[in-house]
Amino acid sequence: MIWTRGEVIPDDALHISAFDRTFEHGLGLFETLRTWDGHPTLLDRHLARLRRSARQLGLIIDPEDLPDASAVRRLKGVGPTAGSGDVRLRIVLTGGVHGPSSDPEKSTLWMSAGPLPPPTRTDGIRIVRSILADPDDPLARHKTLNYWRRRIELARAAAERADEVLCVTPDGRICEGTRSNVFLVRDGRLITPGTDGPLLEGIMRRVVIEHARQHGVDVVEGPVDLAAIDSADEAFLTNSVRGILPAARLLQAELPAPGPLTKRLWDAILPWLESGGTIP
């Protein structure tokens, strides 16, 4: 079952034109999030990013097509996810169909729900390799449907019993993971690549930065060289579905997982997520 245009319908009842630019050229956007103790806590933030990317890339969204918390509840309560606790949510916006020159290009938006992914390893995630990130990639700051290369790299990592891959610029600066943002901890400070580089500003990344500063933790956003890993006391990744992921290995470095600051932050953020964002 999926939600689209205010209705919950069977997934095979959705009709998309064969001339939609998603099929012609791979154009489109998506957002992936989850419920936390039943609350779609980060939904509004994901929708804001979707609208921003659509505007910058020239895709048309009808505001009435966007889901809200009630749409999540309706979708969560039917089909295979009914009564299953928390779920993973995926919102997709297609590239749209070329219409007459006087008409906007019509996109299709829908939301699906499915089970959460299996838990990550309890002893911390492992990253053993990196790939080059293109500093001039105009799509790097958007969550586009053009995701093929990253899926290939994740499959290669899994074959090596690793969990993620770092994206690094040709001059040796860390950008992100293929589906996560990166944080290092050194001397009680959080260090994370700035969003002026070729990376997607993750929703959970921003949540972590906000909570860290609220708890008096200094956060440095800016260029992060690969060499910074060698002096890190701990490290973690962030992802909207998995939250904070402590890193036990980051390329050549072995690290505590979770480190004390990583654990402190997650102990503060998780109750906020599970409250629907109502805990100050």
Asked if 269 and 216 count as a contact pair (C-beta separation under 8 A), the reply is: no
Burial class (CB in 10 A: 0-12, 13-18, 19+), 108: buried
What is the reported pLDDT for 80? 74
| Res 103: pLDDT | 55
On whether residue 120 sits in a domain, the answer given is no
Total number of domains in the chain: 2
CATH number (domain holding residue 172): 3.20.10.10
What pTM did the predictor assign?
0.94
DSSP letter string, 12-42: GG----TTSHHHHH--EEEEEEE-BTTB-TT
Q: Per-residue pLDDT for the chain (280 aa), expressed as one digit of tens each? A: 999 999 999 999 999 988 899 998 899 999 999 999 999 999 999 999 999 999 999 998 989 999 999 999 999 988 777 777 899 999 999 999 876 654 557 899 999 999 999 888 889 999 999 999 999 999 999 999 988 999 999 999 999 999 999 999 999 999 999 999 999 999 999 999 999 989 999 999 999 999 999 999 999 999 999 999 999 999 999 999 999 999 999 999 999 999 999 999 999 999 999 999 998 7
Residue 142: predicted pLDDT: 96
The domain boundary, picked from 114, 137, 170, lies at 114
In a domain, 279, yes or no: no
Q: What SS3 class is residue 109?
A: strand
**Do residue 91 and residue 133 come from a single domain?**
no
Q: Is residue 94 located within the same domain as residue 150?
A: no
Per-residue model confidence (pLDDT) at position 110: 97
Tokens 């006087």 locate to 102
**Alpha carbon distance 168, 152 (integer Å):** 16
Residue at a domain's end among 66, 82, 114: 114
Are residue 129 and residue 80 in the same domain, yes or no? no
Can you name the residues that pair with 182 across neighbouring β-strands?
237
